């Protein structure tokens, strides 16, 4: 869609969404409208509409809320730039000096002679409707300037009066929490040195009661894998904003004359039809990137919950034999292969194949796995080091620490390697590069198993430099080995953000493979990340993390809506379990084009004990839906199962997918369609009226496939 730049109005728009920016000056540009798509004439009116009235004891005239809010304009909320020049030049007052507009982006340049700073703000609007914004500040003065914060702010309207964000912990990531959008600031900080288990993957404001398919919603995400902040703020003057950026520790950014600091991207999405529209914007943008995986996502078997540290070559060969027979396409050797690594207390940092366990190197296993037609993958944790390791004993100075001679508190009996240290960086690059050259490795499971505590370099805070160094290391490895895929794993899902996804091909959503917990973890991770990028594995019958036991059908039905895999000693599976897995894997491969290329939809089902979700192909000719019974319901008869996102003018054949198991039911009589074979139903009926599901036992799931068979004649059942 074209942009309009007339008399200071910048209008970026895509189907369903407009960004209208008042760039008439003299101050910084202000987003006057972020929401439903407007015509150019309406956008011009919105941009130049008269200032709002001012009230007693408020600035006169009304204060604009620019993309960088400034106290110097009378803004009484959170300023976008916080910094100083030796205690002075602490309040900015930028003047807009240049505007550059293209079809889908705008760049604004501003100067502030008082503080000696230049500010460049870049705004883009992608075809999916996802916007992203960032600032760059440059020190144009003659003395150092300390940047304490540089955050982007975007407005939301007064009728957005409810907030949704996320928290969590290890093995229970991305738990939703809702609250009223009241006066004041709701600030979510992550000071863990990585994205964080408890970090909110996004912050959503919406009309009261918004759901997956209903309500207007506005969402932001900070794309940064280190310390970061996301906030929502509402002032009594009825100014409401969402914003965020990097959370800088003391002294992390001190700009010498001529130096610049660039903030992380703040991604922002609007939807007039609930959270599914937010997901579509984020998924569409991620899928449009040049580096997005374009090959079918291979079925994975990871060895961790199968063998743990017991790296016996014969046992692993036997596991690979069974995996290949089941249809697995990628076999990943997890922790325990390198020098001294018999448990988690030692060896991290010594990235050499352990000759005591692997006297012939990894070649016997790699050759066996690839000879079976599978790819070989390997687990690494490059950013960490055990004090009980040759590396630590040789180079204790390579550890992040607040001061010389002082170590941070240990975590998991390990410390954090200072990747920004040139020698440590060179060592890691050499070791990983050597492994990737020596063996036919197609995949690295890149782990990161502890928070950064008291992380310093030469006495200065160093989380920012550590994060940037890790990005450089990932980028260089990908440059040297473009065929190797890397997964972002961080003791499960503690490093999931759009910037780490610029360097990786998949994220591990959680160390918890319990299917009931995974339903929620994957549901909310999937609001921002499409299913093909989210690792989802079938664990053993009894969960490693929760000790809960689930039927195989429920475990499979949960994992199939992601990048599917196994994390289970399948050599211990019964013949019936192996047959069921073989069938399920074949079914997953058949459905991959839809699952990993379609539109994710989630129904607003009236019963909180049951969830509805699915994926609809772009042409809406095929879809896969799940009805998930999480717990027992207070209702004896379930509410109809409505399937959103279909073409209302087509008839669909609805087929139960037995390849993913037959869920246990508790009703006396199942609905007629469920036991009678495929039925043909109009898309309008399926979306607005629905089908009655059978009465499922708790922790069971039913999957169906929908195939369009023709136009609807009367919209009903054939």
Looking at residue 2, its pLDDT comes to: 41
SS3 91: coil
Containing 527, the helix (H) or strand (E) segment is none
How far apart, in whole angstroms, are the C-alpha atoms of residue 22 and residue 7?
A: 9
- Both structure tokens of 126: 């992608």
Catalytic residue among 447, 551, 569, 647: 447
Catalytic residue among 165, 451, 511, 569: 511
User: Please, are residues 240 and 233 in contact by the beta-carbon 8 Å criterion?
Assistant: yes
Closest CA to 665 of 712, 624, 692, 697: 697
Which residues are registered as beta bridge partners of 187?
A: 231
Looking at residue 203, its pLDDT comes to: 98
Is the alpha carbon torsion for 409, 412, 413, 419 positive or negative?
negative
* H-assigned helices in 503-619: 515-525, 552-559, 575-595
Q: What is the DSSP letter of 646?
A: S
Distances (CA, A) of 460 to 86, 260, 401, 451, 656: 17, 19, 9, 18, 60
With a CB cutoff of 8 Å and minimum separation 6, the contacts of 106 are 3, 5, 10, 12, 21, 23, 29, 99, 100, 122, 123
Residue 511 annotated to the active site:
yes
Is the alpha carbon torsion for 367, 371, 372, 376 positive or negative?
positive
Beta strand segments in 322-412, E? 330-333, 375-380, 384-385
How far apart, in whole angstroms, are the C-alpha atoms of residue 559 and residue 516?
A: 11
Looking at residue 716, its pLDDT comes to: 52
DSSP secondary structure, 294-328, as one string = -S----EEESHHHHTT---HHHHHHHHHHHHHHT-
Containing 226, the helix (H) or strand (E) segment is none
Taking phi over 0 as left and psi of -120 to 50 as alpha, with beta for the rest, 544 belongs to alpha
Q: Read off φ and ψ for residue 659, nearest 5 degrees.
A: -65, -15
- Both structure tokens of 476: 């260089």
Looking at residue 55, its pLDDT comes to: 72
Containing 267, the helix (H) or strand (E) segment is strand 265-271
Is the alpha carbon torsion for 375, 376, 381, 383 positive or negative?
negative
Q: Read off φ and ψ for residue 238, nearest 5 degrees.
A: 65, 30
Letter string b/e over residues 54-88, b meaning 16 or more CB atoms within 10 A of that residue's CB: eeeeeeeebbbbbbbbbbebebebbbbbbbebeee
In this prediction, the residues of the chain whose per-residue pLDDT falls under 50 are 1-2, 715
Looking at residue 466, its pLDDT comes to: 98
Closest CA to 667 of 693, 695, 641: 695
- Both structure tokens of 630: 């999480």
Distances (CA, A) of 573 to 374, 541, 588: 20, 9, 19
| CB-neighbour burial class of residue 669 (10 A; exposed 0-12, middle 13-18, buried 19+) | exposed
pLDDT tens, 22-74?
Answer: 999 999 999 999 999 999 999 999 988 766 677 777 766 667 789 999 998 88
Which residues are registered as beta bridge partners of 563?
A: 535
- Both structure tokens of 482: 């473009």
């Amino acid at each position: 869609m074209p942009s309009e730049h007339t008399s200071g109005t910048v209008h970026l728009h895509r189907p369903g969404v407009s960004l209208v920016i008042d760039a008439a000056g003299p101050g910084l540009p202000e987003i006057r409208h972020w929401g439903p798509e407007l015509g150019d004439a309406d956008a011009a009116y919105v941009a130049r509409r008269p200032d709002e009235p001012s009230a007693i004891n408020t600035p006169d005239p009304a204060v604009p809320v620019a993309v960088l809010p400034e106290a110097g304009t009378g803004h009484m909320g959170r300023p976008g730039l916080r910094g100083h020049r030796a205690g002075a030049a602490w309040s900015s007052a930028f003047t807009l000096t240049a505007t550059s507009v293209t079809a889908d982006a705008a760049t604004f340049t501003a100067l502030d002679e008082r503080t000696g700073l230049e500010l460049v703000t870049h705004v883009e609007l992608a075809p999916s409707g996802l916007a992203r914004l960032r600032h760059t500040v440059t020190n144009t003065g003659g003395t150092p300037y300390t940047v304490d914060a540089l955050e982007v702010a975007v407005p939301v309207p007064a009728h957005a009066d409810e907030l949704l964000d996320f928290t969590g912990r290890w093995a229970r990531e991305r738990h939703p929490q809702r609250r009223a959008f009241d006066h004041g600031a709701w600030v979510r900080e992550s000071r863990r040195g990585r994205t964080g288990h408890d970090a909110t993957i996004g912050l959503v404001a919406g009309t009261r009661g918004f759901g997956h398919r209903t309500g207007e919603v506005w969402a932001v995400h900070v794309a940064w894998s280190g310390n970061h902040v996301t906030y929502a703020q509402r002032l009594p003057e009825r100014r409401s904003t969402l914003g965020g950026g990097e959370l800088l520790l003391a002294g992390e950014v001190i700009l010498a004359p001529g130096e610049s600091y660039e903030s992380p991207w703040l991604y922002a999405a609007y939807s007039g039809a609930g959270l599914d529209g937010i997901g579509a914007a984020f998924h569409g943008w991620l899928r449009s990137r040049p580096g997005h995986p374009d090959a079918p996502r291979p079925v994975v078997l990871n060895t961790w919950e199968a063998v743990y540290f017991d790296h016996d070559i014969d046992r692993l060969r036997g596991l690979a034999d069974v995996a290949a027979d089941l249809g697995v396409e990628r076999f990943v050797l997890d922790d325990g292969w390198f020098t001294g690594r018999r448990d988690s207390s030692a060896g991290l940092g010594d990235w050499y194949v352990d000759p005591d366990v692997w006297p012939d190197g990894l070649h016997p296993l790699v050759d066996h796995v690839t000879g079976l037609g599978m790819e070989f993958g390997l687990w690494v944790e490059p950013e960490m080091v055990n004090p009980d390791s040759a590396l630590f004993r040789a180079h204790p100075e390579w550890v992040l620490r607040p001061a010389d001679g002082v170590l941070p508190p240990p975590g998991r009996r390990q410390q954090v390697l200072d990747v920004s240290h040139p020698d440590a960086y060179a060592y890691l690059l050499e070791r990983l590069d050597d492994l990737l050259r020596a063996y036919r490795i197609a995949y690295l499971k890149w782990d990161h198993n502890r928070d950064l505590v008291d992380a310093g370099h030469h006495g200065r805070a160093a989380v920012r430099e550590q994060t940037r160094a890790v990005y450089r290391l990932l980028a260089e490895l990908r440059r040297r080995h473009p065929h190797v895929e890397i997964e972002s794993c961080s003791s499960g899902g503690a490093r999931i953000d759009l910037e780490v996804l610029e360097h990786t091909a998949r994220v591990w959503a959680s160390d918890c493979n319990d299917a009931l917990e995974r339903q929620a973890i994957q549901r909310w991770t999937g609001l921002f990340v499409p299913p093909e990028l989210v690792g989802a594995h079938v664990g053993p019958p009894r969960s490693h993390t929760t000790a809960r036991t689930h039927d195989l059908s429920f475990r499979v039905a949960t994992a199939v809506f992601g990048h599917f895999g196994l994390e289970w000693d399948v050599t211990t599976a019964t013949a019936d379990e192996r047959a069921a897995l073989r069938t399920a894997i074949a079914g997953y491969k058949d459905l991959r084009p839809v699952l990993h290329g379609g539109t994710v939809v989630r129904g607003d089902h009236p019963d909180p004990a049951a969830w509805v979700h699915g994926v609809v192909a772009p042409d809406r000719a095929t879809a896969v839906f799940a009805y998930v019974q999480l717990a027992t319901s207070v209702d004896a008869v379930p509410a109809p199962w409505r399937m959103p996102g279909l073409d209302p003018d087509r008839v669909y054949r609805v087929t139960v997918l037995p390849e993913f198991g037959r869920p246990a039911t508790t009703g006396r009589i199942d609905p007629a369609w469920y036991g009678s074979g495929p039925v043909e139903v109009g898309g309008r009926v399926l979306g607005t009226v629905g089908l009655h599901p059978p009465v499922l036992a708790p922790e069971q799931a039913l999957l169906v496939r929908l195939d369009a068979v023709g136009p609807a004649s009367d919209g009903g059942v054939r």
